[in-house]
Chain A
Amino acid sequence: MSTQANGNVGIVIVSHSPDVAKGTAEMVRQMVGEEVPLAFCGGNPDGGLGTSVEAILAAIDRAWSEAGVAILVDLGGAETNSEMAIEMQPEARAGRIVVCNAPIVEGAVIAATEASGGASLEAVRRTAEELSPA
């Protein structure tokens, strides 16, 4: 699920469940629109619940924007595998991919709303994280 190239921050959704990832992406598309690059992944290669570094790497590529990419995750492994995928990125992308500490569904919609107005990666992350109880 990739989009036209543009200058807006991209959003990547990483869930243990392929259905949650897909449904979250649908909410972003229906509520926010088409202005942000968006990709999602979920499930392990055997079709069960889980996350995989390879799938996350591919999702980052699909949603890549020169403005950067914000990743929304659900539970433990989604975050650690996303961090591993960030570490494996080429040097040219260093510092331009972040994992947001926000609930996956609400955070994805909020982050995409902020990104659709051309906000910086840091502003997108900060807005998504405003949601979280401190």
Chain B
Amino acid sequence: MAEPGSSNGASAGSVLLTHAVGLHARPSVKLTKLAKTFGASIELGTGPEGPWIDAKSIVKVMAAKAPQGTTLHFRAVGPDAGEAVAALVDLVERDFDEAAAHAGNG
């Protein structure tokens, strides 16, 4: 499902959101926290042409209210853009580690 492509500090990828309740509170928190660990600027789009929002903004990510079945698009610019997109795609593919959520593993 991931289509990471990388070239010289810019990267993009997309992934199908399978989480049953979509990008709600807890998944949004996890996505935002992960995005903040990268130096690259990262944007999240709910369609291939956007609209694009700052993936590090918890308020904007929650407000996007992406439902189950949405294909999430990430694009990043910066030295660690490739790692950032790969990590975010991986988080969504892992379904946000929801099964392990109560083990404090997130």
Contacts and interface: CB of A to CB of B under 8 A. Distances in A.
Interface of A: 30-34, 109-110, 113-114, 116-118, 127, 130-131
A-B residue pairs, 4 tightest by C-beta: A117-B36, A130-B59, A113-B58, A31-B29
B104 A34 contact: yes
Contacts of A113: 29, 32-33, 58
Nearest to A114: B58
A110 B58 contact: yes
Nearest to B57: A127
Contact of A32 (B29, B56, B57): B29
A34 B33 CA distance: 12
B104 A110 contact: no
Nearest to B32: A113
22 contacts: A30-B102, A31-B29, A32-B29, A32-B33, A33-B33, A33-B104, A33-B106, A109-B25, A109-B29, A110-B58, A113-B29, A113-B32, A113-B58, A116-B33, A116-B36, A117-B33, A117-B36, A117-B56, A118-B36, A127-B57, A127-B58, A131-B59
Interface residues of B, number: 15
Binding site secondary structure of chain A: helix
Contacts of B104: 33-34
A127 to B, nearest CB: 6
Interface in B88-106: 101-102, 104, 106
Interface in B5-45: 25-26, 29, 32-33, 36-37
Given A31-B26, A116-B33, 11 more contacts: A31-B29, A33-B33, A109-B29, A110-B58, A110-B59, A113-B33, A114-B58, A117-B32, A127-B58, A130-B59, A131-B59
A109 B101 CA distance: 16
Interface in B30-85: 32-33, 36-37, 56-59
